[in-house]
Structure 1
Amino acid sequence: MMNKMKHTVADFKELKILRSLIVLITALGLYANTASAQESETYSVGDPLGLTSNGEFQPISSNVSVYGAIQSAESCIYDAERELIVVPSMGDRQNVQVNDAWVSLINFDGSVHTTKWIGVQNSNQRSDLNPPLVLNDPLGSEIADGVLYFADRDGGTSRDDPSTAVIRRFDLETGEPLEDIRIEESPWINDITVAEDGTIYTTQTGDIGPDGDPQSWKVWEISPEGSISEFAVGDPINVPNGIAIDTDGNIVVVNFGNPDVLTFSPDGELLKTEQAVQAGGDGIEIMPDGTKYISSVRQGGISRIRPGESAELIAENIPSAASICYDSDNNQLVVPMTSQSTLGFIPLD
């Protein structure tokens, strides 16, 4: 009886050792699989339209044109190196689905080059990428020194979830996410521009309406070293929306609350006040000769202000004419029509 008991205990110890070895081997296998999965989840961007067969990508036939790829786009920016229009779509808003935005590449005629370049992965996959991808509600966009900028935000998933302004940055060549810039004192930002020295200016549109708080109307300045400060607050800015740098390096702000187009020196001095034909200003493009084009998202017109002249309307009745961009290779304005989820094209004289 005793010998039999000793034999059983020995067997039990051997079984425990065997089980430990099995657990160790399994853990090592899981580690290897996890490491392999992490390697496969390295950040990647989407391909132009086409198919991959037998492991080789083949572009779509040149006689096929595809239109679409846009959902609630608030801005666009022209990539002169690629000769393509970069368009950020917001997708579902934060209170519906976080991290659902994407970036499309569009040809000069409005046809689709790449449906989803940045953001080809769905929102549930993006946090597992290396580096992770976050793109929530992109509004204004800019390209400067090989970097693609978007005015975005975190939070705002519900009334109880505070929103924080974030500037997203991506490598323009690879689409890889770069370091974000958070503006902790701002709930959200609208348009964005970058000076030659790397200084970033971005508008905080703030409260909209007759009872809006002027202290919520701001232009933020982020130095090349990363310090964040208020560039302008309240009057004369009035619900500021579009922003751009002119040929002299001055900062031009488009008001939404009135037709004013304001030019500030880099020191914050108001140098000039011009007026668009319509209020409700959104986007602005400034030509090399100083001519300004301003879109009115509220009234649907495109104003042109030539140096020293009054504004004139060159296009009108464009639904939700948001933050325009200029296609320099084809001499045309591109107008995101947010409510229509499409783009309008205006050839210039």
Structure 2
Amino acid sequence: MQPVSIASVVLIAGLAASPSLAQQAPTPGPYFVGNPLGLPVNPAADGAFVPISSNVKVFGAIYATESCSYDPERDLIVAPARGVSQAVQENNAFVALINHDGSVNTARWIGVQNPQQRAALQPPLILNEPFGSDIEGGILYMADRDGGTADPADPTKTTPSVAVIRKFSMKTGEPQGEVKIEGSSWINDIEVAPDGTIYASNTGVGGKEPQPDTWQVWKVAPDGQVSAWIQGAPLNQPNGIAFDGDGNVVVVNIGSDEVLTFAAADAKLLKTEKAAQAGNDGIVVLPDGTKYVSSVINGGITKLTPDGTASLIAENIPSAASMCYDAGAEQLVVPMNANNGLAFVSLDQ
């Protein structure tokens, strides 16, 4: 089983993103407090600080949210919260429903029960540590995982981690099945086609000793058959996935500034574009072909027009993760990972 550490992302962005990231002893230093919203999150030695863009509004109380999806039926934002780490407590995650203005509609929609109560539900609820999410055909899909916890037979070891895509009814919130990706210990973002085909990214290992064979996009067919759809270059620690208007698969990399478009039929690379920043996480594609890309490393939102022109429309959003498009309010909603908040960027300008 392949490691999924993305230590380069964690160290730069100050995230606890990878479930397999090894614990490191802290470096002794003076006491400090965090900066206001902007970058860097922690005070720089030279005092450098740049505030978040004035056109960005941030609302908190959304715990450890990595992704979001827009529910057109409720006209609300669906925000999965990872809760505490799987290694701390299993089955702790939940899903909140958020209004357009950032206020909370439902604090805990899926997962209002505590972990001890969930096993007794009919059907039982399991939601451990969801990252990517998508809504398609009345189903909420979430990129979850099992394992990665203390081994009962030997507490000094951990059980193997395996990626699981869990499905829930958007009408009732009830579980609708799951698919395990046995070849991957963790996946980041997902995108689901109308026929139920799922595309999922494994960011893999980057940094000073990159492992390109761990950079993957997985494909889950409607019948549940799982395959590694793309592996290695031109992927470079892939994260965000979306479809364009032609049904092609668009992928953004953390390890570069590239925005890659692949044919869904055969995974052929059709187009390579460049965002205004590298270190990207989220991708939104509008019907007119305009793409928006969020940089979890550098904090900017790139607008990428169909002719390939890239410009920053917002800057210095800490840990700008896998954003979604809120069509009901014509805005981008940007989860901020460990900052426990959502940023809102209006496109109605």
> Could you tell me the TM-score, scaled by structure 1's length?
0.80
Q: Distance in 1 between matches of 2:321 and 2:228?
A: 25
| Larger RCO of the pair (alpha carbons < 8 Å, separation 6+) | 2
- 2:193 counterpart residue number: 195
CA distance in 1 between partners of 2:132 and 2:233 (Å): 22
Q: Which has the higher helix share?
A: 1
Alignment of 1:169-248 (within 5 A): 169-248=167-246
| Number of the residue aligned with 2:278 | 279
- Name 2:95's counterpart in structure 1: 103
| Map of 2:147 onto structure 1 | 155
SS at match of 1:125: helix
Partners of 1:163 and 1:125 in 2: how far apart? 23
1:334 corresponds to: 333
For residues 64 and 321 of structure 2, what CA distance do their matches in structure 1 show?
A: 10
Q: CA deviation at 1:160?
A: 2.4
Deviation (angstroms), 1:69: 4.3
Name the residue aligned to 2:136.
144
Map Cα deviations across residues 69-110 of structure 1 (whole Å, 9 max, x no partner). Answer: 411100110101100000011111011111100000000000
Match runs of 1:308-319 below 5 Å: 308-319=307-318
Moved over 4 A (4+): none
What residue in structure 2 maps to residue 33 of structure 1?
none
**Aligned-partner Cα distance in 1 for 2:308–2:60:** 38
Say whether the 8 Å CA contact 1:95–1:157 is kept in structure 2: yes
Q: How does 1:18-167 map to 2 (within 5 A)?
A: 68-158=60-150, 160-167=158-165
- Residues 248-294 of structure 1: CA distance to partner in whole angstroms, max 9, x if unpaired? 00000111100011000011100000011111110100000000000
3-state SS in 2 of match to 1:124 = helix
Match of 1:168 in 2: 166
Q: Is the 8 A contact 1:188 1:204 kept in 2?
A: yes
Contact 1:69/1:115, CA 8 A, preserved across alignment = no
How many angstroms apart in 2 are the aligned matches of 1:280 and 1:161?
A: 30
Cα offset for 1:346?
A: 0.4
Structure 2 contact 216–228 (Cα < 8 Å) conserved: yes
**Residue identity opposite 1:111 in structure 2:** S
1:321 maps to what in 2?
Answer: 320
Q: Which residue of 2 aligns with 1:49?
A: none
Letter in 2 for 1:319: P
Aligned to 1:16: none
The letter for the 1-side match of 2:262 is F
Question: Which residue is 2:302 aligned to?
Answer: 303
User: How far off is 1:68 after superposition?
Assistant: 4.8
Percent identity over the alignment is 58
Distance 2:88 2:251 in 1: 32
Q: Distance in 2 between the 1:69 and 1:134 partners?
A: 22
Give the residue type in structure 2 aligned to 1:126: R
Q: Distance in 2 between matches of 1:120 and 1:208?
A: 37
CA distance in 2, matches of 1:246, 1:210: 33
The answer to whether the 8 A contact 1:68-1:112 is kept is no
Give 1 or 2 for the bigger CA radius of gyration: 1
Kindly tell me the number of residue pairs found equivalent between the two proteins.
Answer: 283
Give the conservation status (yes or no) of the 8 Å contact 1:319–1:339: no
Q: C-alpha distance in 2, partners of 1:294/1:153?
A: 25
Aligned match of 2:26? none
Aligned equivalents of 1:181, 1:69: Cα separation in 2: 30
Instruction: Please tell me the residue identity of whatever aligns with 1:216.
Output: T
Runs of 5+ unmatched residues, structure 2: 1-58, 151-156
**SS class of match (1:313):** strand
Verify the 8 A CA contact 2:60 2:342 in the aligned structure 1.
no
Structural RMSD (CA): 1.0
Deviation at 1:339, TM superposition (A): 2.2
Note if contact 1:68-1:111 (Cα within 8 Å) is conserved in structure 2.
no
Give the distance between the partners of 1:170 and 1:276, measured in 2 at CA.
33
